[in-house]
Amino acid sequence: MSIEIKAGTLSDFFASAKETAKEIDSGKAITPKNTIWVDAKDLMLLLKPERTNLVKYLRKEKTAIFSHLAKTLNRSPISLNNDLKILSKYDLVTITKETNPGHGVCKVITSNLDDKIEFRVEV
């Protein structure tokens, strides 16, 4: 299964949903779609090299502790937080906090990424 990331507006999303509804109404068999509609500005942010490396790492590892992730990717906590904020906005990662006995709380990042991600831009 792959995730398709499309740049578009809210009206583009509803047009796509309407098309799918018409297919359902006509009795056509449809396949589940894993499409994420992204604002064009955010799509450009997702394509930065640092975020691309982060996505590749998370696809391979699936779960990572924030501090280990920052150290492994040689990233500052601020820049890594910014990257994770964008990825979590579109549900590509899930960020939770877990207790770390004797050391407070740690941030755990879980990947919602599949093996394949397609970026499509329509202008």
Q: What is the pLDDT of residues 55-84, one digit of tens each?
A: 888 888 889 999 999 999 999 999 999 989
Q: Which residue has better confidence, 121 or 24?
A: 24
Dihedral in degrees, nearest 10, Cα atoms 78, 81, 85, 87:
120
* Average pLDDT of the residues in 99-120: 78
* Average pLDDT of the residues in 90-101: 86
Average pLDDT, the chain: 79
Q: Which residue has better confidence, 41 or 51?
A: 51
Where along the chain do its domains lie?
Answer: 2-121
pLDDT at 42 over 60: yes
Please provide the CATH number assigned to the domain covering 2-121.
1.10.10.10
Confidence of residue 90 (pLDDT cuts 50, 70, 90): confident
CA distance to 47, 54, 102, 108, per residue, from 69 (Å): 19, 9, 21, 10
